Amino acid sequence: MTVSTGSTNGVERTDLVSVTIDGVQVSVPKDTLVIRAAEQAGVQIPRFCDHPLLAPVGACRQCLVDIPDAGNGRGFPKPQASCTLPVAEGMVVNTQATSPAADKAQQGIMEFLLVNHPLDCPVCDKGGECPLQNQAMSNGRGESRFEGVKRTYPKPINISAQVLLDRERCVLCARCTRFSEQIAGDPFIALVERGALQQVGIYEKEPLQSYFSGNTIQICPVGALTSAEYRFRSRPFDLVSTPSVAEHDACGSAIRVDHRRGKVMRRLAGNDPEVNEEWITDKDRFAFTYAQQPDRLTYPQVRGEDGELRPASWPEAFAVAARGLQAAGATGVLTGGRVTAEDAFAYSTFARVALGTNDVDFRARPLSSEEAEFLAAEVALTHPDTGSPTYADLESAATVVLLGLEPEDEAGAIFLRLRKAHQQHGTRVLAVAPYRSRGLRKMGGQAIIAAPGAEAAVIESLLEQAEYGVDSTAVILVGERLATSPGALSAAAALARKTGAKLAWVPRRAGDRGAVEAGCLPTLLPGGRPVSDPAARVDAAASWGVDTLPDAPGRDADAIVAALVDGQLGGLVIGGVDPDDTSNPAATRAAVEAASFVVALELRETDVTRAADVVFPVAPVSDKAGTFITWEGRPRPFEAVFSNPASLPDLRILAGIAEELGHPLGFRTVADVRARMAEMGPWDGQRPATPSYSSGGGAAGAMGGVRIASWKQMVDLGTMQDGDEHLRATARMPVVRVPAAIFEQHGQLVTLTGDRGSVTLPAVINKELPDDVVWVPANSVGRGVLADLASPGSTVTVKGAGA
């Protein structure tokens, strides 16, 4: 798909500057650095500190070149660092390829760099993919003349729980410290000491806390920074690399999966300037071991006559599942938010074609019917070509409004892009939020304080306040949490419509956006077709090759749960749903128990699979091809990393069951599904109306308690972060943020008690929080807020728990 990049080719063309590099004339945009102009002439100048996404520093001096003419007829008497020197019209550059002086200068620097660098390449993780090793070969002398004593340090030291530093290998290029300062904005990693004893250091009292620290490892040009996860695990030349797309959020970050003998060894950031540039979150980088856990399901199971699950063949499991679902009668489908677009299409098709129901929902979290209407009207079928905002738009927008979205925790690539936008273009970030979070501060953002549940009124007020600058040049990003705030999504849609601002919905999970397109909603068929529109149903039915489709809107996830509990539904097909994520975890567990027949499609053994009647193991993303749709609506297809015939995607399993049910879905493979999706295409008929729910006035203090603001932190107890204790150790310490009055009354340790239980956590003062609001991380202790503390929208009481 081609997407508007926001780049202005017309301007660049008039701004070209002609330079001669090693006798080759090239035309490059004004202000291009010589080192990059040389790349266009086909000359690779060696470098260490230089990085295209970091500000020039000129520290390592490896990229010295000879400039016999600076464009003004005069040359530089000394070699110049090409990473800090912009081109000038008529400039003549002689690199190491043609200038003996430049070559000698580079060889001299390389020799100096190796003076204090250990010759431990045979045991160094970087050996084989090391810029120092490679450039020492290409631009250095074979033998060192240094016979003295090298600088040594005790090794290694922890920069964080995950990032380790071997100081003696460091060439002090400052890429890591500059990344932390310029890109991630996380302090407490800096160069300390001086001379050859200069080193990367941390502030012992405040550990480096960063969700992006893994990027420093990737851009380290030597083996000084390693991850606890990958250190000493593999050699680069033993790895096979496959490009893929990260599955942990809706950002669609490009990644590179490095694997060996059928096992993922590590993941690196891919380079996609349109999406994640060259950065990914630590979760995208390190959280892949969930698929390698011992509780991973590897074969189908059916519940035997003795009531126990037993292994079964695939054909038997398909048959048992089909028989059971037929017997169970009305069946609901819960897909979870981790599905690929193709799997989502398969669930949607399975529900309509094989089960004849609209009782299908991807939302395994608190939800509302207002949200379903919002998704159908404002989100489905939007993508960059239809004017939906992109990463580039975030960068060029004058104002970006975040509604119920904390990008640093929930969408890391958006956070980095917004921080860049703020730093480089002065973009103003506004957030309707309970307090000004650390992420918002790093984006220079302003918080418009809103208590949970009261967002709608605040969003409405943005319209009237011109000083916020929400106009047609603004971008509005709506988080999935807004579903729980009555009227907020309606208000957001109204704000976008009245101001002309671009609007996008940013869910947390990689599959959510694709599931909307695939119609995994009780009111929506694939391609944005409303269930309530007879023409849309006919259109979809024709594409699916069935006579009719159920015409009544289905039940949403909460209603499916309720209907299972009270017996209106008998069967349940359930994908990657963790009951603790849902609005009512106890009810969801009860629904699984109450259902007369449960088919579970899961990666690993869970409470749901233990209670299911047929359990199908599904392929993790590494084992299947698929597509994630980003929050922008941009499809991000990826191919399978591994070819594992025993690991089937959800769509193949659903196709198998459907065939046994006598309602074949018309596909068995990812390629088939892609063809069917293309064939069905987007709905070109009338779109559903935008919801206009009122805020209902909120329930401020109606119950006399304290309201809970909450979201999931990036690194928490999510099951897809299982298996890497180092990553989990980088999670932020769970605390309750409380307003000053509550802190003064109850002290440093508080117990919150709600309708589902109690949680005791350290309290931290936050003076921006409204008086009757406390913030807790949604899934950082126990089974999470919804299971252990309070139902969505309810209130809690606070008590001091100190000694």
Partner 1 sequence: MTSILTPVLTDNWGDERAWTLASYEARGGYDALKKALTMAPDDIISAVKDSGLRGRGGAGFPTGMKWSFIPQDNPKPKYLVVNADESEPGTCKDIPLMMASPHTLVEGVIISSFAIRGNKAFIYIRGEVLHVIRRVQAAVAEAYAAGHLGTNIHGSGYDLDIVVHAGAGAYICGEETALLEGLEGRRGQPRLRPPFPAVAGLYASPTVINNVESIASVPSIVGNGAEWFASMGTEKSKGFGIFSLSGHVNRPGQYEAPLGITLRELVDLAGGIRAGHQLKFWTPGGSSTPLLTAEHLDLPLDFEGMAGAGTMLGTRALQLFDETVCVVRAVLRWTEFYKHESCGKCTPCREGTWWLVQTLAALEKGQGSESDLDLLLDQCDNILGRSFCALGDGATSPITSSIKHFRDEYLAHLTHGGCPFDASRSTAWAGLEAMA
Compute, in degrees rounded to 10, the torsion defined by CA atoms 352, 358, 363, 367.
170
Task: Enumerate residues 198-227 that contact partner 1 by CB under 8 A.
Answer: 198
- Judged by CB under 8 A, which stretch of 103-111, 222-230, 487-495, 580-588 contacts partner 1? 103-111
Task: Specify the stretch interacting with partner 1 by CB under 8 A; choose among 102-110, 246-254, 530-538, 692-700.
Answer: 102-110
* Residue 438: closest CA among 102, 122, 733: 733
Stretches 50-58, 179-187, 238-246, 482-490: which one binds partner 1 (CB under 8 A)?
Answer: 50-58
Q: Is position 148 an interface residue for partner 1 (rule: CB under 8 A)?
A: yes
Q: Which stretch binds partner 1 (CB under 8 A): 186-194, 232-240, 276-284, 592-600?
A: 186-194
Contact segment (CB under 8 A) with partner 1 among 147-155, 360-368, 371-379, 569-577 equals 147-155
Q: Is 193 one of the binding residues for partner 1 (CB under 8 A)?
A: yes
- Closest CB to partner 1 among residues 146, 299: 146
- 53: contact with partner 1 by CB under 8 A: no
Are 802 and 747 in contact by the 8 Å Cβ rule? The answer is yes
197: contact with partner 1 by CB under 8 A: yes
151 sits near partner 1 (criterion: CB under 8 A): yes
Distance in angstroms (rounded) separating the CA atoms of residues 522 and 28: 54
**Contact call for residue 57 and partner 1 (CB under 8 A):** yes
Minimum distance, C-beta of residue 58 to partner 1, in the bound complex (Å): 5
Give min distance, CB of 44 to partner 1, in A. 19
**CB neighbour list of residue 393: distance below 8 Å, 6 or more residues apart:** 6, 475, 502
Nearer to partner 1 among residue 426 and residue 662 (C-beta): 426
Q: Which of 32, 62, 215, 253 binds partner 1 (CB under 8 A)?
A: 62
Rounded Cα gap, residues 483 and 506, in angstroms: 12
Distance from C-alpha of 235 to C-alpha of 229, rounded to nearest angstrom:
14
Contacts of residue 168, defined as CB under 8 A and 6 or more positions apart, other chains included, come to 116, 117, 118, 150, 151, 152, 153, 155
* Per CB under 8 A, 149 contacts partner 1: yes
Maximum CA extent, the chain:
92
Nearer Cβ to partner 1 (68/635): 68
Let me know: does 255 contact 243? Beta carbons within 8 Å.
yes
Q: Which of 6, 29, 71, 108 binds partner 1 (CB under 8 A)?
A: 108
Q: Quick one: 105 or 339, whose CB is closer to partner 1?
A: 105
Contact 370, 441 (CB under 8 A): no
Residue 187 in the binding site for partner 1 (CB under 8 A): no
Shortest distance, CB of residue 792 to partner 1, whole angstroms? 47
Compute the least distance from the CB of residue 150 to partner 1, in Å.
9
Nearer to partner 1, 63 or 563 (CB): 63
User: Hey, which residues between 533 and 552 contact partner 1 (CB under 8 A)?
Assistant: none
Tokens of residue 292, six digits? 């390698």
Give the residue with the Cβ less far from partner 1, 118 or 762.
118
Helix, strand, coil: what percent of the chain each, to 5?
Answer: 35, 20, 45
Give me the sign of the Cα torsion angle 410, 411, 415, 416: positive
Of 68, 64, 67, give the one whose Cα is nearest residue 105: 64
* Interface residue with partner 1, options 54, 92, 161, 191 (CB under 8 A): 191
Provide the CB-side half-sphere exposure for 342 (13 A, CA): 26
* Choices 105-113, 181-189, 522-530, 786-794 (CB under 8 A): range interacting with partner 1: 105-113
Residue of 778, 754, 782, 750 lying closest to 766 (CA atoms): 750
**Nearer Cβ to partner 1, position 141 or 610?**
141
725 binding partner 1? (CB under 8 A): no
CB of 68 to partner 1, least distance (A): 15
* Residue among 59 and 785 whose Cβ is closer to partner 1: 59
Whichever of 121 and 190 has its CB closer to partner 1, that residue is 190
Binding segment for partner 1 (CB under 8 A), chosen from 73-81, 462-470, 526-534, 657-665, is 73-81
Contact call for residue 390 and partner 1 (CB under 8 A)? no
Torsion angle, alpha carbons of 218, 221, 224, 229, to 10:
20
To partner 1, the closest distance from the beta carbon of 37 in angstroms equals 18
Residue 63 or 615: the one with the smaller Cβ distance to partner 1 is 63
Provide the minimum distance between the beta carbon of 144 and partner 1 in the complex, in angstroms, as a whole number.
Answer: 10
17, 26, 33, 60: which one contacts partner 1 (CB under 8 A)?
60
Extended strands (E) in 335-473? 360-361, 399-403, 428-433, 446-449
95 is a site residue for partner 1 (CB under 8 A): no
* CB nearer partner 1, residue 221 or residue 526: 221
> Does residue 20 belong to the site contacting partner 1 (CB under 8 A)?
no
The answer to whether residues 430 and 399 touch, using CB atoms and an 8 Å cutoff, is yes
Q: Can you tell me the distance from the alpha carbon of 201 to that of 391, in angstroms, rounded to the nearest whole number?
A: 33
Cβ nearer to partner 1, comparing 171 with 431: 171
What is d(CA 476, CA 576) in angstroms, rounded to the nearest whole number?
Answer: 30
Q: Does 138 bind partner 1 (CB under 8 A)?
A: no
By CB under 8 A, is residue 181 in contact with partner 1?
no
Can residue 84 be called a binding residue for partner 1 (CB under 8 A)? Answer: yes
Strands, DSSP E only, in 145-296?
Answer: 157-158, 163-165, 189-192, 199-202, 225-227, 240-245, 254-260, 263-269
Distance of CA 263 to the CA centre of its chain: 22
Which of 78, 263, 425, 441 touches partner 1 (CB under 8 A)? 78
3-state secondary structure 717-776: CCHHHCCCHHHHHCCCCCCEEECHHHHHHHCCEEEEEECCEEEEEEEEECCCCCCCEEEE
Point out which residues pair with 478 in neighbouring strands.
Answer: 403, 505
Does residue 104 interact with partner 1 by CB under 8 A? Answer: yes
Q: Is residue 171 a contact residue for partner 1 (CB under 8 A)?
A: yes
CB contact set of 489 (below 8 Å; sequence gap of 6+): 368, 370, 371, 374, 478, 482, 483, 691, 693
Q: Is 699 in the site for partner 1 (CB under 8 A)?
A: no
Q: Is 196 in the site for partner 1 (CB under 8 A)?
A: yes
Of 687, 626, 628, give the one whose Cα is nearest residue 381.
Answer: 687
* DSSP conformational letter for 130: -
Give whichever of 113 and 608 is closer to partner 1, judged by the CB atom: 113
For position 56 contacting partner 1 by CB under 8 A, the verdict is yes
Would you count residue 142 as binding partner 1 (CB under 8 A)? no
We find the least distance from the C-beta atom of residue 201 to partner 1, in angstroms, to be 11
Binding to partner 1 by residue 58, rule CB under 8 A? yes
- Which residues share a beta bridge with 737? 764, 775
27 binds partner 1 (CB under 8 A): no
Given the rule CB under 8 A, which of 179-187, 192-200, 229-237, 449-457 is the region that contacts partner 1?
192-200
- Site size toward partner 1, by CB under 8 A: 36
Distance CA 544, CA 563 (A): 28
Closer by beta carbon to partner 1, 208 or else 432: 208
In the list 41, 43, 63, 64, the residue contacting partner 1 (rule: CB under 8 A) is 64
Return d(Cα 112, Cα 196) in angstroms, integer: 11
Choices 107-115, 393-401, 600-608, 692-700; region in contact with partner 1 by CB under 8 A: 107-115
Q: Which residues contact 678 (CB under 8 A, 6 or more apart)?
A: none
Both tokens assigned to 492: 């957001």
429-to-249, 436, 474, 494, 496 alpha-carbon distances in Å? 21, 11, 10, 20, 16
The tokens for 535 are: 């023409």
User: Which structure tokens are listed for 58?
Assistant: 């000129």
Which residues bind to partner 1, rule: CB under 8 A? 56-62, 64, 77-79, 84, 104-105, 108-109, 111-113, 115-116, 145-146, 148-149, 151, 171-172, 190-191, 193-198
